[in-house]
Amino acid sequence: MNPVNIKPYKLPSDATWLVTGCSSGIGREIATLVASKPSQRIIATARNPADLSYLPDDNANILKLTLDVTSVDSVNAAFATAAKHFGKAFHLDVVVNNAGYSLSGDTEGATEKEMHQEMETLFFGTVRITTRSIEIMRQAKDRRGGLIFQISSLAGLCAFPGHAFYHASKFAVEGFSESVAREMHPDWNINFCIVEPSGVKTSFEGHSKANIKPHPAYVGADMPARKLEGYVRQGLKLGMGMEPSTVAETLYKIASREERVPLRLPLGAVSWKMAKSKFETLLEEFDAVKNISAMGEEL
């Protein structure tokens, strides 16, 4: 396997960050944190630019842009405006693919439009921003390199009932990102960090949840997805989950600590423990099928 993220990453003192989905939650906290650092620049983006009013208007290091990751025209326009705003000094150092929402409910009940929209946002949205960012990062003559954070989820490592398309999109982001990270020439110094948080206290379970029309075969309270919904409701009531500001601080730490960037970063105790347990179980399952898998070969 080609190694990834080989050299320690050094955040330039005048780094430019691009963050998607800054209207609320994790994106908003990252934008707020980066904007508070005097010499860092931020391209904060949102579908509705009015949602970025929490950032000052009179700071040349802060550029607020409209960006819908599902629209090629919108992505092209945002990159063109950023290049024009910063002029000759335009470069991209850190990119955070954060925009997203969850499509929840019974898989059999999902419409073509619902399932495509989820993939369009979480997967193809990430693809669009990533490929354009790599192009800029590898071409920068005097500061080649960069760091791309992909905000995946514990849901990109483990799959739970009732969120098939959300999981599929996040798993796709993980596979895409690992492959692209391995595709980079070592001299380009382009680093990837796939971030896998468990519950974060944002509006994700409200504003950013699209619900599939319930399917009659799955309404029973004993159905796995209904049970999971019960646990999630209970967790929300108890105020469980991480603060989005803590997620933002952790990403800033990864970017600025001048160490090798981890390719995968489960965030939060729940994520770390569940992900570890998943892979331990997977290894046991591999051992259980070892003889069949070998198909007569030596293993």
**Catalytic residue set:** 152, 166, 170
Closest to ligand NAP by CB, 72 or 294: 72
CB of 259 vs ligand NAP, minimal distance in Å: 24
Residue 32 binding ligand NAP, by CB under 6 A: no
Site stretch for ligand NAP (CB under 6 A), options 5-13, 40-48, 218-226, 258-266:
40-48
Collect all residues with Cβ–Cβ distance below 8 Å to 93 and sequence separation of at least 6.
Answer: 11, 12, 15, 16, 17, 137, 143, 145, 146, 147
Number of CB atoms found within 10 A of residue 72's CB: 11
Closest to ligand NAP by CB, 152 or 189: 152
Site stretch for ligand NAP (CB under 6 A), options 141-149, 193-201, 230-238, 248-256:
193-201
Rounded Cα gap, residues 132 and 277, in angstroms: 36
Strand, helix or coil for residue 264: strand
One-character DSSP codes across 20-31: S-TTSHHHHHHH
Which residue among 26, 137, 255, 261 contacts ligand NAP (CB under 6 A)? 26
CB 111, CB 57: distance < 8 Å: no
Rounded Cα gap, residues 257 and 265, in angstroms: 15
Residue 126 binding ligand NAP, by CB under 6 A: no
CB of 97 vs ligand NAP, minimal distance in Å: 8
Residue 207 binding ligand NAP, by CB under 6 A: yes
Rounded Cα gap, residues 262 and 17, in angstroms: 19
Residues engaged in binding ligand NAP (CB under 6 A): 20-21, 23-27, 46-48, 51, 67-70, 98-101, 121, 125, 151, 153, 197, 199-200, 202-204, 207-208, 244
